[in-house]
Structure 1
Amino acid sequence: MTLAGDRLTNFPDSECAGQADGTGWHWQSWEGLPYLTCSLLDRWSHGFFTRDFSPRGPIELTEILEPGARVYRLQQVHGNAVLNTTELPPVVAPGPETPPQSYESADGLVAVRELEALWVCSADCVPVLIADDRTGLVAAVHAGWRGTAAKILPEAIAQLVAQGSKRENLKIAMGPAIAGKVYQVSVEVAAELGATIAPKSAVSATADGICEFLHQLPATPVSADPEPGKVRLDVRLCNALQLQQLGIDLSQLAIAPFCTYSDSARFFSYRRDRLKKVQWSGIVSACGTSPC
């Protein structure tokens, strides 16, 4: 895979929102409500849920995907910490006399057993679901720009490898997020992400120098913005370029052709509405070729 020479063919060039048909992405329906699935992950129960499911949380949504699976979620903090499911308790339904459950602070989860449902939430940041085609294990990652700058996705993959995965067996789906065409950030923010994929000689350059390096990439994650000191940033493509550096092949990756900012009918967007409302994304680990 050479992203420097190839376009990400399943990422839309001209529109922020697109049709799922023909891209490996498919709309499913539960009681008339739409959620998105990716053909790369057909073997696993999974879904990128829309605003229509609000305020349902992971317990209720797991019943849609895989009734009876153990449910895990986090308190997301825009960092690069990744936990596995032995490090935190499953989510339990609150009772009339029980206090609200507290959650571990992290932005990535890795399953270690079958039938574990992993959940992340987003409202512009990138929800990433990862599955191992051999072991059946999965990971779920919340990758905002800060987490991407801290390389949370490579950290999650490293933890899957530590559990016995091989990179060539991974299937990775990046769900709906704010598209690069509408995501205005400072040059300094773009440079933080660029430093994770630039060669060492470029990393030592100024923020403008790193952005210039990014502009020169054929599959560039940045584009011009009319405001001085600003650029448009494609966070999903930054994550894809990090995957390239790990040797992940383009055939192992799918990027949803939907923009949370532009598609107000389907998705919450913090950048658009400035409201703390989220949509959930989840995946359930399965039994692989090895004993589970």
Structure 2
Amino acid sequence: MSEVEIVRARALDGVDHGFLGRRGGVSTGVVAGLNVGTGSTDDPSAIAENRRRAGDAVLPGARLVTLYQVHSADAVAVIEPFEERLRPRADAVVTDRPGLALGILTADCAPVLLADREAGVVGAAHAGWKGAIGGVTDSTIALMETLGARRERIAAAVGPCIARASYEVDDGFFRRFADADPANERFFADGRAGHFQFDLEAYVAHRLASAGIRTVEALGLDTYSDESRFYSFRRATHRGEPDYGRQIAIIGIS
């Protein structure tokens, strides 16, 4: 049995956290590995075991908290896990309570983990392009501040996500970002005719820095190109596969 692989960020040293991929799980087939996505067609018992392994790998004994992610800019504060059927539709979660493992699921979108060590406040955000341009990281930071965090003390890490070389978008996508802020053009490289390559990771890091986060680390790991380590929605779509797995990023206070 392979061990769960945990990628950690130097920016979050001293904080219980980890970006996980597909290694170390029990799922088989096209979602083989540590698939934690309840929205997949995977065996529910395999998903449950993978979630148990993921949580124990990062915060042994903690209770895992996940959301019903909808690509929004909405963040919620949590004091105890939600019942599965009552999970809020949101894309970021924060807490100041020990014993909770905040989990964000991704399959190309950017997972963002945040912590104010001094205040004892942590957060996790799901930043796909919709949530990123909509301000999901801003919402996360603002909600952390209501629990006593200060943005100048918050450190953040952007985990494995689809890289610019793998993320082709059309002109309409480019225009959406350029119209929001002409400076956003720097996050796009020319591609084939009528298309661009979008740097989601750099854009998310920029949004964090622009919000006053002084310590931002981008891990530079491409979910699309590294099939042995990560799940990728776009890779599965390009291959015409019937399903895709989801990986998880976890942060908490022990």
Given the two structures, how large is their TM-score scaled by the length of structure 2? 0.82
In the TM superposition, what is the alpha-carbon distance from 1:31 to its structure 2 partner? 5.1
| Counterpart residue type for residue 219 of structure 2 | A
Opposite residue 103 of structure 2, the aligned amino acid is: W
Amino acid at match of 1:36: V
TM-superposed CA distance for 1:57, in Å, is 4.2
Q: Corresponding residue for 1:141?
A: 125
| Structural RMSD (CA) | 2.0
Instruction: Output the CA distance in 2 between the equivalents of 1:49 and 1:273.
Output: 19
Q: Of the candidates 236, 247, 265, which is equivalent to residue 201 of structure 2?
A: 236
Partner of 2:57: 64
The alignment status of 1:83 with 2:79, answered yes or no, reads no
Within 5 A, what are the aligned runs for 1:167-206? 167-196=151-180, 198=181
Q: Distance in 1 between matches of 2:178 and 2:119?
A: 33
Shift of 1:49: 0.7
Give the secondary-structure state (helix, strand or coil) at the position aligned to 2:5. strand
Q: Distance in 1 between matches of 2:172 and 2:209?
A: 23
Map of 1:204 onto structure 2:
none
One-letter amino acid of the structure 1 residue matched with residue 58 of structure 2: L
Amino acid at match of 2:252: V
| 8 A contact 2:104–2:250 mirrored in 1 | yes
Quote the Cα distance in structure 2 between the aligned partners of 1:134 and 1:188. 43
- 1:62–1:69 contact (8 Å) kept in structure 2: yes
Determine if contact 1:193/1:238 at 8 Å carries over to the other structure: no
Q: Secondary structure at the match of 1:109?
A: strand
Alignment-derived partner of residue 42 in structure 2: none
TM-score with structure 1 length normalisation? 0.72
8 Å contact kept, 2:100–2:252: yes
Equivalent residue for 1:73, pick from 66, 70, 74: 66
Give the AA of the match of 1:240. Answer: A
> 1:102 deviation in Å?
4.5
For 1:225, which of 168, 178, 191 is the aligned residue? 191
Match of 2:229 in 1: 266
In the TM superposition, what whole-angstrom CA distance separates every residue of 1:13-53 from its partner, at most 9, and x where no partner exists? xxxxxxxxxxxxxxxxx953422111221211111111123
What does residue range 11-160 of structure 1 map to in structure 2 within 5 Å? 32-52=3-23, 53=25, 54-55=34-35, 56-86=49-79, 89-90=80-81, 101-160=85-144
- How many equivalent residue pairs? 227
Shift of 1:66: 1.9
Tell me by how many angstroms 1:243 deviates.
2.1
Query: SS in structure 1 opposite 2:144?
Result: helix
Amino acid at match of 1:247: G
For 1:113, the aligned partner's letter is: R
Greater helix fraction, Structure 1 or Structure 2: 2
Rg larger in 1 or in 2?
A: 1
**CA separation in 2, counterparts of 1:193 and 1:235?**
11
What secondary structure does 2:155 align onto?
A: strand
Q: CA deviation at 1:101?
A: 4.3
- List alignment gaps of at least 5 residues for structure 1: 1-29, 93-99, 199-209, 287-292
Q: CA deviation at 1:246?
A: 1.8
Task: Name the CA distance, whole Å, in 2 between partners of 1:113 and 1:193.
Answer: 36
Q: Is the 8 A contact 2:156 2:213 kept in 1?
A: no
Give CA deviations for 1:93-143 in whole Å, capped at 9, x if unaligned.
xxxxxxx64522111000131222100110100000001121121001010
- Structure 2: tracts of 5 or more residues without a match: 26-33, 36-48, 238-242
**Could you tell me which of 208, 214, 220 is aligned with 1:257?**
220
Instruction: Classify the secondary structure of the residue corresponding to 2:142.
Output: helix
Q: Distance in 2 between matches of 1:60 and 1:101?
A: 22
More off after superposition, 159-168 vs 239-248: 239-248
Deviations 1:157-198 (A, max 9, x none): 0111121111111110100000012201122223333455x2
- Percent pairwise identity: 29
Residue type of the partner of 1:242? R
Deviations 1:196-244 (A, max 9, x none): 5x2xxxxxxxxxxx4xx434xxxx211001121x211111211122223
Amino acid of the structure 1 residue aligned with 2:251 = I
Distance 1:108 1:191 in 2: 26
Residue 280 of structure 1: aligned partner:
248
